[in-house]
Every structure is written in C-alpha cells, then in structure tokens.
C-alpha cells in the first residue's frame, strides 16, 4: 500500500496526536507509528510515572512531548501499580474474575499504591488542537473521554482500549465507551485488536497466553460520523483521510473523506487517490 503522504504531499496539514497512556511497550505497540515523521505529525503523550516519563522525553524525537500527568476527572485518585506495568490503573483489579484466566491474574497483582492527582484533558493546554486521540489507561478511558468534551470537538479519530468484562472493579465497559463517543459525534469504525485468554486449567500447547474463546479486552476505533463529513473543517477531512489510510488501511473511509472535501473545495484529490489505488491494484493483478 502506497503512503498517502506521498500521494497528497503538502495538502495534509500536520496531525496532532494525543497519547494517553504512553508507557513504552516497544515500537510495535505505537498504533500511530505510520503517521510519524518530520512535518507529518506531533505527539503529546501522558505517562504518570515520572521516571518513565523522563525516559520517554530523553528518547523522544523532535515534535514529541511527554508529560507526567495521570489523565482522569481532575480529582485525586489511588494509583495501583501492578506487577505488569501496563496493567497499572486508577481502578482496583477484579482479582476474583482475573484469577479464573490464564496469566491475567498474575499480571495484575497490585505491588504498590499511591495517591495521585489527575488532570482533565480539557484542562491541559498542551492537549488543545488534537486530531487523533489514543487512550490506553486500564479502565479509566471513559473518565478521560468525559473530561475531554472540548478537545473531542476537533478530533477526527479516537483509538481506545475497551474491556468486555469488568477486569477492574466498577470500571466502565465497551458499551459505556460506545455510548459516550457516539454522544460526541463519533461512529464505531472497527476493532483494531481483540484479546482473549483461556479459563483455567486449559492452556493450549502449554501456552498461558494462548487465546481460546472468551474475549476480555481489545482496541476500538471511532471516527467522526461519515454522515457529518460535510460539516467538518476541510483540513480535518484531510487528516481523517490520512489516519484512515495509514493507520487502519481503511481506504474507503479515506476516499469518502477526500470526496466530501472535493465537493466543497472544488478540488480533485479523491479522483487522484482512487486512480492511485486502481493503479496499485492493476499492478498487483
């Protein structure tokens, strides 16, 4: 698949990415990595562990800034550090449920707790003007969404972790996230990933992480409703097209965004994009 940046070049304004839950888990876990590059994007990330945040800033390329804030509802909260850092949360792990599954209970053992202050995204000046919002904060995603009403007005795409069972006590689930984002004008686009674990004592090929049937969590992608594309700023339609193409290979959504741009601006980007797609398809055949 060709790069939309090569196809449309200077027409795509720089994309501002907000990464809530930016703990470094390796480049393969950076869902927006296809958007990175000089002139393409900037990143503002949040990692409440100050030492980890300092490491992120030390290794960050130009255009990246990481802040040691816990994103939430603006009130103080108890942060639970878990044996697997990526499982740490403002919510208490639901041990009775998690221990029924291979590997999950062990990864979510609380090793320490501390009271921390949280910040609403709308109250963080550096988050203003976001185009792409990524959320991965172990059950606190709805809290972040509810504190970002102003920011979400200008966001094209939200990539959020969701849970289908209460892995943390009293946490919101997928249905709650879906309801909140639809209220902000987003439509569910697709699942980017789904994760499951086996109920004990089953373990396929002695692999505790092998999925079998019970889906526990995943990543869901929401985009501003395609029924409202005629009301979105023209620049945001370009950015949405770039995100859809580069991150999700959603070429139909990218084309539709460009088409609606062209209808209002009198340009021909959708036709050029479609021709590029057809050319690649013809070469492949």
* Number of folded domains that form the chain: 1
- For 29-74, the pLDDT digits (tens) are 899 999 998 899 999 999 998 889 999 999 998 999 999 999 999 9
* Residue linked to tokens 């562990």: 49
Query: Could you give the strand order of the β-sheet that contains 76-82, starting from the edge strand earlier in sequence?
Result: 70-71, 110-119, 76-82
Whether 74 contacts 49, CB under 8 Å: no
Pairwise CA distance, residues 264 & 192, whole Å: 31
- pTM, two decimal places: 0.94
Mean pLDDT of 105-124: 96
Q: Which domain holds residue 155?
A: 4-284
Pairwise CA distance, residues 246 & 266, whole Å: 24
- For 193-243, the pLDDT digits (tens) are 999 999 999 988 889 888 888 999 999 999 999 999 999 999 999 999 999
From 61, 71, 75, select the one nearest 33 (Cα to Cα): 61
- Asked whether the predicted pLDDT for residue 137 surpasses 70, the reply is yes
Q: Is the peptide bond before 201 cis (omega within 30 degrees of 0)?
A: yes
pLDDT of residue 284: 41
CATH number of the structural domain spanning residue 257: 3.40.50.150
Query: Could you give the strand order of the β-sheet that contains 41-46, starting from the edge strand earlier in sequence?
Result: 64-67, 41-46, 15-20, 132-135, 157-163, 215-224, 186-196
């Amino acid at each position: 698949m060709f790069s939309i940046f090569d196809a449309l070049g200077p027409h795509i304004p720089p994309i501002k990415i907000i990464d809530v839950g930016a703990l470094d888990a390796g480049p393969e876990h950076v869902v927006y990595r296809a958007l990175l590059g000089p002139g393409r994007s900037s990143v503002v990330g949040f990692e409440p562990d100050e030492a980890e945040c300092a490491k992120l800033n030390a290794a960050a390329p130009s255009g990246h800034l990481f802040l040691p804030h816990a994103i939430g509802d603006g009130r103080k909260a108890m942060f639970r550090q878990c044996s697997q850092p990526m499982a740490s949360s403002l919510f208490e792990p639901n041990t009775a449920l998690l221990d029924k599954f291979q590997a999950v209970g062990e990864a979510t053992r609380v090793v320490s707790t501390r009271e921390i202050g949280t910040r609403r995204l709308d109250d963080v000046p550096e988050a203003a003007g976001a185009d792409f919002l990524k959320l991965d904060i172990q059950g606190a995603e709805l809290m972040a969404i509810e504190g970002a009403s102003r920011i979400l007005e200008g966001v094209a795409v939200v990539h959020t972790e969701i849970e289908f069972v209460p892995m943390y006590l009293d946490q919101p689930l997928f249905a709650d996230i879906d309801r909140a984002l639809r209220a902000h004008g987003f439509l569910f686009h697709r699942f980017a990933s789904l994760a499951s674990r086996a109920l004990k004592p089953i373990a396929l090929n002695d692999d505790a992480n092998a999925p079998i049937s019970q889906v526990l969590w995943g990543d869901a992608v929401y985009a501003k409703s395609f029924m409202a594309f005629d009301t979105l700023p023209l620049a945001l339609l370009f950015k949405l097209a770039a995100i859809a193409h580069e991150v999700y290979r959603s070429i139909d959504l990218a084309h539709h965004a460009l088409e609606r741009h062209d209808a209002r601006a009198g340009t021909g980007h959708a036709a050029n994009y479609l021709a590029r797609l057809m050319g690649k398809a013809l070469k492949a055949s």
